Every structure is written in C-alpha cells, then in structure tokens.
Structure 1
Amino acid sequence: MINGVQIKKLTKHCDDRGFFAELVRDDEPELLSRFGQASWSMSYPGVIKAFHYHEKQDDLWFFPSGNAQVVLHDLRLDSTTAGETDVYYMGDNNPIMLLIPKGVAHGYRVLGDKPATIIYFTTESYDRSNPDEKRIEWNDKRIGFSWETEFR
C-alpha cells in the first residue's frame, strides 16, 4: 500500500427500513486532518477520469453507487513508496473510504453498466483563481497503467 494511503471499511447498520453508515467523523483526524470541502460527482459507464494530484490537499473518496477501479500512483520523491501504483475497487461491491495524500496521483474508471457516483472530502476548499490540481494524462508512460480489463 502506498505510504499515507488509508482505507476505512464502512459499517452498515441495517434494519427493515434500510441502512445507515457513518462516512467520516471529527474524531478521526487520521482520515481528514482538516475539513475543506465536500463535493459530489457522477460519471457514466466506461468513463476514465485520470490522473491528477494536489500539492496542498488530501482527498477522502467514497463511491455510494456504481463501481469504480481507482488507481493511485505515488509521485512523492521522498516517500518510501515513490513510484508505486495501487489499485482499489470501490463502490456498491466494496463500500470503503479511501484517503489519498497530497502528492499521490489518482484517477478512476467506471466499471459495469451503470453510472458511478463519488462523494469526496478535501482538506482545502477549491480555489478557482489558483486551483491545487495538477493534471497528468490518463495514459502517461511514467505511470504506465493499462486501463484495459484483463480477461482471465
């Protein structure tokens, strides 16, 4: 696992009305050291949204519906996991929270035949005049990730 990345498995409390689950709490500073913003986005099946990274903010991702293949690549030269790539499967089939530290490139591909929704929390608010968002092409050779499904 890339240094600084954390997973929080969610606990669903189910009854005959449905379920309830906590995403993030103020007494979990290891997950979100500071609250900056909460955002919500939807992507259609097959869409790849990759890659970008931040210099100032951490991201905390959650896919409440649909399924996604999430790819992380450690760009931090001083990290013990510099250059490593991790893959996580998130969504309906694996309801987890994923902490992505600043300096780690991240992106995702929507899996299956329905859209995926992501809710994410950041430690900084988005600054339209000076966005903390550095882009890398989805097929960048330095990362070298194949977004194709491997049939086995």
Structure 2
Amino acid sequence: MKFEELSIRGAYLIGLQPIQDERGFFARTYCDKEFRENGLNPHFVQCNVSYNVHRGTIRGMHYQSAPYEETKLVRCIRGAIYDVIIDLRADSESYLQWAAVELTSDNRKMLYIPTGVAHGFQTLQDDTEVFYQMGSFYEQAAARGIRWDDPAFNITWPLKCWNMSDKDATYGGFELH
C-alpha cells in the first residue's frame, strides 16, 4: 500500500500496489503492520456499507463526540464519491480546515480518517456504494453533525447538493467550543 498524508494532520489517502498477471491483479487493502508503521490506528471493530441510488446525494458531515471518537477507513467499491473531511481537533495545526479526495471503484483508493475529524461525501454517479471500516462502535448518543453547507468551512461541492436525509439537512452550523 502507498500512504499519502493529506493537508489534515493524520489523514491519509491510501493507494493499492497491485500485483498483476493475465488473470487480473491481487492487492492488499489492509495490513496491521503497515498501518502501525505509518502511525495509524490499525484497530477496526465494525464494517458498514452505504448504498446511494442517486448522483449528487450528500451524506454528512458526521462525527462522534468524546469518548466515542471514530477512526474510519473509507473505500468506494462501486461508482464514485467526492469525500470530504473537516479537522475539529482544537490542538491540530489543521484545525477547522477541510480536505477532499475523489474515491472511485476504478482508482481503488481509500481514505483513512483519524479521530476528531468530521466526514461526509457526495456521490458523483448513480448506484454508488461505499464501504467503511470503523475504529469505534456507533454510539447514538455521541453522534454529531455539521451542516454540509456551513459557511464556516465553505466546502466546494462538485455537484448540486439535493438528496440528503432530513437529519443531515437540519444540522446546525459549527460552534467553537
């Protein structure tokens, strides 16, 4: 695997290193040792899938409050997404900054999201499926969100944002603590 740190401290875009032959290829998508060598939390306790019917769908911006913060490893296994993260860690040099990457079933890249970072995405194609590995169990009482169009961050979404849950559509703006 190839680990490329993003502008958000501790967030990585991870590429595969396929071994190819006439049958296709084989590639490792996870290795505890390589994650540890790159300073990443290798512990995942839950896996989730998100299927999205329509292009332009927004999911996010989600995070969990302490002590239930989550690390995430996100991969688009069908279609394409514009994946966005926001650093909410007050002690981070990238505090309140956002970064985005395109994850597609063709590029097979993954996004590692450290604790204390909000996450959301927009689908770029119909029938898009996203696979998540989670570092913590979902705790409903700790679930939090930031409005996808919060002017505090001014995220540039590639498509018109129109299809989202009522919960995501009604999140408030980010408030400094």
| Matches for 1:12-23 after TM superposition, within 5 Å | 12-23=18-29
Q: Does 1:66 align with 2:72?
A: no
* Backbone CA RMSD of aligned residues: 2.0
Q: Which residue does 1:117 correspond to in 2? A: 129
Contact 1:10 1:21 in 2 (8 A): yes
* Residue 149 (structure 1) shift: 4.2
Aligned length: 147
Q: Which residue does 2:50 correspond to in 1? A: 41
> Deviations 1:22-57 (Å, cap 9, x if unpaired)?
211222234433121111121122211121113321
| Matches for 1:36-115 after TM superposition, within 5 Å | 36-44=45-53, 45-55=55-65, 56-112=69-125, 114-115=126-127
> Deviations 1:76-107 (Å, cap 9, x if unpaired)?
11101111111101113422121111111111
Give the Cα separation in 1 of the matches to 2:99 and 2:82. Answer: 10
For structure 1, the 5+ residue unaligned runs are none
Identity %: 29
Q: Which has the higher contact order (CA 8 A, sep 6+)?
A: 1
| Matches for 1:122-141 after TM superposition, within 5 Å | 122-128=134-140, 130=141, 132-141=142-151
For structure 2, the 5+ residue unaligned runs are 1-6, 161-177
Q: What is the TM-score with the length of structure 2 in the denominator? A: 0.73
Query: For 2:31, which of 25, 30, 37 is the aligned residue?
Result: 25
